[in-house]
A and B are shown apart, each in its own frame.
Chain A
Amino acid sequence: KNEVEQSPQNLTAQEGEFITINCSYSVGISALHWLQQHPGGGIVSLFMLSSGKKKHGRLIATINIQEKHSSLHITASHPRDSAVYICAVRFQTSGSRLTFGEGTQLTVNP
């Protein structure tokens, strides 16, 4: 069964803390996406990964294909990082369909 699991479901941090959000999936994938969703519904694509590591500003995304696991890290977190972070994957057996995790609600307090 094609499944995507994220942890934690909710995360509260103090400004400046290093944050890690995890994503595990069940079977082989062709690509993994990290998305950010702010209150009001708008979704922004942060990263697309198929191997290795990507960095953009204070955000770092890594993926381990053998372990079927990806992490999203935020360094020096800020209250404006507060949002829902969603992991979505394209399973090799699902064509171009994205399967989404349930998201991690991040709250960064000043």
Chain B
Amino acid sequence: EAGVAQSPRYKIIEKRQSVAFWCNPISGHATLYWYQQILGQGPKLLIQFQNNGVVDDSQLPKDRFSAERLKGVDSTLKIQPAKLEDSAVYLCASSLDLGARETQYFGPGTRLLVL
């Protein structure tokens, strides 16, 4: 079974530029998560989708971050414009459903460096 795919794996941009990340979850997984993990910290949820609807985006900085999952399968996360403090690993995860005991499967992450 293929895992969660993410691209690119690495990205270096200058501040005020825009960047987009892509995630393809495990086939059949209804729930998709985007996390931000700053060096030395645990992941922080940015946004959670159930199919193509947003379940939780309370921690998403909406002035610069946006995400979509138009067809309920793959998803993109965009930062526009980027700031230095956005340097982090952006992790995508998916689970079969929303249940409290569902296992989340993580992608390899996209490592972003903002200069």
Report whether A96 and B106 are in contact in the complex, using a CB–CB cutoff of 8 Å: no
**Chain A interfacial positions (CB closer than 8 Å to B):** 4, 30-31, 33, 35, 40-45, 48, 50, 86, 88, 90, 95-98, 100-103
Interface residue from B45, B48, B106 paired with A43 (Cβ < 8 Å): B106
User: When each residue 47-63 of chain B gets 1 if its CB lies under 8 Å from chain A and 0 otherwise, what string results?
Assistant: 01000000110000000
Report whether B31 and A96 are in contact in the complex, using a CB–CB cutoff of 8 Å: yes
User: When each residue 95-115 of chain B gets 1 if its CB lies under 8 Å from chain A and 0 otherwise, what string results?
Assistant: 000111111111111010000
Q: How many residues belonging to B are interface residues under a CB distance threshold of 8 Å?
A: 27
Interface residue from B42, B98, B99, B103 paired with A86 (Cβ < 8 Å): B42
Task: For the complex, give the distance between the alpha carbons of A44 and B42 in Å.
Answer: 14
**Chain B interfacial positions (CB closer than 8 Å to A):** 31, 37, 40-45, 48, 55-56, 89, 91, 93, 98-109, 111
Interface residue from A31, A48, A50, A101 paired with B42 (Cβ < 8 Å): A101
* B45 / chain A contacts, CB cutoff of 8 Å: 97-98
Report whether B42 and A103 are in contact in the complex, using a CB–CB cutoff of 8 Å: yes
Known contacts A43-B91, A96-B31; is-contact A102 B48 (Cβ 8 Å) = no
CB B93 to nearest CB in A, in angstroms, measures 8
Report whether A30 and B101 are in contact in the complex, using a CB–CB cutoff of 8 Å: yes
Task: For the complex, give the distance between the alpha carbons of A44 and B111 in Å.
Answer: 17
CB A63 to nearest CB in B, in angstroms, measures 13
